[in-house]
Homo-oligomer: A and B are copies of this chain.
Amino acid sequence: MTETKARRRAGRPRVFDTDAALDKAVRLFWQRGYEATSMADLVAETGVAAASLYAAFGNKAGLFAAVIERYAATFSVHLYAPINDPALSTYEAVKGLLERAASSFSEPGTPAGCFMYSAAAAVSPASAAIECLLRDKRIAAEALLIERLQRGAAQGDLAANTDPAVLGKFINTVMEGMSVQARDGATTSELLSVAKMALDRWPAAI
């Protein structure tokens, strides 16, 4: 997509670091949500003038879309790593996912919970497209989890009488609930105990 080292574009080069600004923006949107975060907030937090943000991202929605991708690349990738790790059993993969959720959702250095779940939980009709962006991400993530379970089932790594779609939706539901819990102040150990209880429901072979 972007030419890595080849000829730079003409004109005055950008003086601010796009990824650094996005990292700041991620935190703001994460904490306050899409509509409650104003451009003035973003200008104050990133130190980048409004016109420069608009030149780089088009508008607030475009900036948010870039923020989503930045969050996915820096946080979601780490969260879902166990799902994509072929060395793990199906159970270990889900266990790793829930344990990472427990720790990352309550990590001190970042806002509580998951950005994907709370950044646009309830918005005005004017921002329906934004809500949809995140919803699609959530649905896609659940689908990936279910696909992982289906692979496990195909390899005999899951009880035969288990519906991967139901199990995946259950796991995903617990994870979404853990985000709400984290937002309300649940500690890592509390979230871990919740994750453990969810894994206790793991379907045993008959």
Contacts and interface: CB of A to CB of B under 8 A. Distances in A.
Interface residues of A, number: 46
The A interface, classified by DSSP as helix, strand, loop or mixed, is: helix
Interface in A35-58: 35-38, 41
Given A170-B197, A172-B177, A174-B198, 8 more contacts: A32-B125, A36-B124, A36-B127, A37-B124, A121-B122, A121-B180, A169-B181, A177-B180
Nearest to A204: B201
Contact of A122 (B41, B119, B124): B119
A104 interface: no
Nearest to A28: B124
Interface in A190-205: 190, 193-194, 197-198, 200-201
Given A32-B124, A166-B194, A177 B184 contact: no
Nearest to A41: B124
A23 interface: no
A162 to B, nearest CB: 10
A5 to B, nearest CB: 39
A147 interface: no
Interface string A161-189: 00000110110111111111101111000
A178 B125 CA distance: 23
